[in-house]
A and B are shown apart, each in its own frame.
Chain A
């Protein structure tokens, strides 16, 4: 849409900076007077940070989330770099929490993603997969995985319904009752209650596919347990009848992706069934998608402010030179509400570099070793 009035724009698309180090290594970054970031993940930022430090090129780093954002400048030997401060990492939940003792909706959503892999995708990749023999195996492994139907045999709607009911019963009735029988939840604040899948799935008719996700407002409202069973039956039917063989089904290419409508429908239904067993709050497709996909809200206004601030830092670097970054450049937060002094944008000084040059310290040696790798 835009023309570049006087300048020259060269673009490289479809290539990942992190996987083509020969092309986009230190020498590439040495070509530039300044580098500006507009990235959306921590790994890429770390990578560019290290390369710019090695190339001794000033890096203008920025990020936004919803109404909030910040801009800073990184210059080797003057300022702190991107990795000097610890960054929040993706939250990982203990396996036992997911498999046995969920207490929050997100635990059930993660479980739903794993069930998707177990039932429709590549089962061994799922956290719920077990290959132990004997009594130790969970009661759902056989009905869900071992009794999968064969796509090439073109299973009838009746067979697909029978498989679905059997899998759901194992997951939400049999296994829960087994755990309760083993006093697994003795002393727990909320004792789980197994579903009566037989009763819930009574209304399902072989070959009749009315997924609640397709109904009026289906994505925004919370489905009943009966509707969740119906949704799963519909998905099982669709996946089997639509597939010709792996990779359409039972392969690792059938992985959870928040933009895959069928994956999100499955996860929503599975999450709601699981959450209601454990008396955890259930929720809609829409909300589940936000949690399952780690969706970061984004709006034009914050991006405009932060991008404009990046250009201000660029102008200062070009005017004063990269040796003066620490003196002239700023760290700026973009705020939702004004401060006590009535400020909406309040730049502060950049943090000075931490010295790793102390000889003899293990941290210093490790850091210098890391820096050499990138030269």
Chain B
């Protein structure tokens, strides 16, 4: 499928003047030649979408499966209103408002019946990056997306916000890894470096989470909550028991995520409550920064998870791997 990309022209230079002065015309052109797909837009990914569209990057909104607008959607998604509740499709209802943010870039919308029919288009679609929530799908599906992206060379961000926290998995580049240059002072860039990003199956099959601790502290609780949230989808009544067993199996204390009451409250914030807007704004901005680094290849991207804890307001990288991320 041939897609026409926009080039930086004198008229777009005017519009993007303030951002071109930051990252340069070459980076602007590289971004305008990128193509990002947003699958099943959530509260958090709607913030990332806003940042990407404003930067002048072409976006496609992908709907997979039933996408009727719920109350939670309308309360979380930046592009939905109360009046959209009950509408047939979240992405369709959002598209016009997304486009309104930037008439100089393209915002498309595509609909697929299921994940596999979407993933079969990846090799020819030319998407530079896929952004998708993960808590709404099984771990198997997220692993399938991850390996399909790796095979077709598209980068991937899987991310969710839940309560006051948020978490993201980053997979940049394909088998050859992601080559970038670090910023080393004013207007100076380092020599090219390459980082290999593993597929998510590696992190999912890790047997020991206690071993992820560093000399700066244990593995962040929000990461643990997200991973258990992804694995525990559909457990219903048994969720609390499943969470405790998983913690034990991964060599963490069963009280790692708090008391019995704290554990009981988690499924609601993981699966059904609307997102908290400032959490989405802050983490959506952080992920937006990562997207800019990925597409411009300037600056070092987080490897390979990024988390935000709304109680401490700390955003940090969590190096789960496996592999150490360096090209051999």
Contact = CB atoms under 8 A, between A and B. Distances in A.
B315 interface: yes
Nearest to A345: B315
B70 to A, nearest CB: 15
B178 interface: no
10 tightest A-B CB contacts, nearest first:
A308-B281, A304-B285, A308-B282, A305-B285, A301-B288, A297-B22, A345-B315, A311-B278, A342-B317, A300-B54
A263 interface: no
Contacts of B188: none
Contacts of A1: 97, 100
Contacts of A299: 18-19, 22, 55, 292
Interface stretch (A109-117, A148-156, A330-338): A330-338
Interface in A259-284: none
Instruction: Name the residue among B54, B182, B183, B289 with the largest chain A CB count within 10 angstroms.
Output: B289
A330 B47 CA distance: 24
- Which size class do B's interface residues fall under? 35 or more
Contacts of B310: 312
Interface string B297-318: 0011010001010101111111
Contact of B289 (A220, A295, A301): A301
Given A336-B299, A338-B302, A344-B302, A308 B19 contact: no
Nearest to A296: B18
Given A341-B316, A344-B317, A309 B282 contact: yes
- Determine chain A's interface SS by DSSP, over half rule: mixed
Contacts of B233: none
Interface in B271-291: 277-282, 284-286, 288-289
B317 A338 contact: yes
Given A299-B19, A301-B51, A347 B314 contact: yes
24 contacts: A1-B100, A219-B10, A295-B21, A297-B19, A297-B21, A300-B51, A300-B285, A301-B51, A301-B285, A301-B289, A304-B282, A305-B282, A305-B285, A311-B281, A312-B278, A332-B313, A337-B182, A337-B183, A342-B214, A342-B216, A342-B316, A342-B318, A343-B315, A345-B315
Interface in B186-225: 214, 216
B18 A302 contact: no
A312 B310 CA distance: 8
Interface of A: 1, 3, 5, 66-67, 217, 219-220, 286, 290, 295-309, 311-312, 315, 330, 332, 336-338, 341-347
Interface in B21-61: 21-22, 25, 47, 50-51, 54-55
B181 interface: no
A347 B312 contact: yes
Given A312-B282, A345-B316, 4 more contacts: A219-B13, A297-B18, A336-B183, A344-B317
Contacts of B18: 295-299
Interface string B56-98: 0000000000000000000100000110000000000000010
A102 to B, nearest CB: 22
B319 interface: yes
Contacts of B17: 295
B50 A300 contact: yes
B315 A337 contact: no
A233 B284 CA distance: 50
Of A301, A309, A311, A343, most B-chain CB atoms within 10 Å: A301
A301 B314 contact: no
Nearest to A313: B313
A307 B78 CA distance: 15
A332 B313 CA distance: 9
Interface string B221-246: 00000000000000000000000000
Nearest to B317: A342
Contacts of A336: 183, 289, 299
Given A295-B21, A300-B50, A341-B316, A311 B286 contact: no
Contacts of B285: 300-306, 308
A302 B23 CA distance: 14
A345 B22 CA distance: 20
Nearest to A314: B278
A183 to B, nearest CB: 37
Contacts of B319: 342
